[in-house]
Structure 1
Amino acid sequence: MRQILLTFILCLSVVLGTAQNSTLFKQATEFYNKGEYTKAIENYGKILENGEHSAELYFNLGNCHYKLNAIGPSILYYEKALLLKPNDKEILNNLGYAQNMRLDAVEEMPKTEIAQLYLGLVNFLSFDQWAYLAVALSFLFVLAYLAYFFLRPATQKRIAFISCMFSLVLGVLCVLLAYLQFQEFKHDNPAIIYSKEVKISSEPNTNSEAVFTLHEGTKVNVEEEFNDWSKIKIADGQTGWLLNDNLRLLKDF
């Protein structure tokens, strides 16, 4: 009886929480349409505090900060939205506008055509999307196998057999791509510079030499951490250390 009561309370809290978030999102949208971007940000922030994360929520937060000319936060939230909804044209478009406001123009290290093709294929979908596609192809494989087993006409059996093998090969490929994409995701730890300007040091201490300077909105990759310091790498291959307060991680959902 006690377990049933706890389950009921849990379900009720989830329903109430969802309703509250829906109300907050609606109010935030109204604030945004009125040009009250700070109030909209407050409401979106409350939804995040309630534990809800979505591409739409981060996209709207990015729009609000962009309207307030806050480069770092706008890029941060657009990038977060892109992690949850890869290749979304609207997110990419708005992210491009925000990136044009950055002071740093870091050129990426050139990649070979093979590397570009590999990354384009692996990152075409997120690892969970590759996994969902693999599951769908597995169902298709089972259906095609059953069709091959029960059908009598030779032509239909041949089509069923080809479909069976085709879905099996594609399913295995999707599993492989999901694994490769997950490995890429796991080793990639992107962050956005949040300070207006920060000196990047050669060592994790305040007495070390500054090797270069970064500005708000620049995307970096965190390679390791030491106490309150992070070692970062930028797109052109340069590395250095900075205090953690100067950046915000993208994958801290």
Structure 2
Amino acid sequence: MNLQEMLEQAATGTVHVQEGWGQGRATYGGLVGGLMHSALRAQLPEGTDPPLRSITVNFVAPVTPGAAETDVQILRSGKSATQGLVTLRQGDSIVAAALAAFGASRESTLSVRSAVAMPQLPEPMTIDPLPYIPGATPDFFQHVEMRLADGNIPYSGAQTSHMTGWMRFRQAPPTFDERHFISLADSWPPAVIQMLAKPAPGSSLTWTLELVDNVTAEPDTHWAYAVHTDHAAEGYAHTDARIWHPDGRLVAISRQTVSVFG
């Protein structure tokens, strides 16, 4: 079962999480977020199709390959905004939860351009993608292409804690919308783990993705990415990232709290 099939299946309330999307002992968090978003959007009030404004995912326990069920609650649906909660369950346990806000455009006199411009990056195809090495890199690397322009690879003992580069799916889906963007946006490793000199366990606790522009695009679009580490201490790191369409439009802000052992 490929990504598109999983996303469509999740909209029915049940989904089989496919093998090959692992990240350590858990399923890759972007896929988890994409599946829950798909389930939630399918339950929005009939006749409405507002864009996603924000989704916060809590990774409660490792999501493993196999059957999973979603439970969606529409908390409130007003004239412009709709908020919903979705949980992902495997067996008797909740393994992930997400709170999302959808909001239709409204008239406003406010307009503030992002203070963070898209970085100057080499053309994507001039940078070799991070390799997929079975048994050495996360399984989901076989599905996601990341081209690192600045920063260092994980566990390289670097002095830096930032990354910039390009990302897209190795095999383009038939279409590309919010579901696919969420499934792609979490692909980069936590930027801080490049400072470790050897592999150590780590995982995301929470992930918030805020969409500030339309993310519908050509399926093979390269998206620009930049992340820096705001703070790291006592086994937790807090990162802040921006994602741009290649035309320079800021489309998303991504924030994570990551637990790091090492």
TM-score range relative to shorter protein: under 0.3
TM-score (norm 2): 0.26
Query: Which of the pair has the greater relative contact order for Cα pairs under 8 Å at 6+ separation?
Result: 2
* TM-score between both structures, scaled by the size of structure 1: 0.26
Identify the structure with the greater strand proportion: 2
Larger radius of gyration: 1
Looking at secondary structure, tell me which structure has more helix per residue.
1
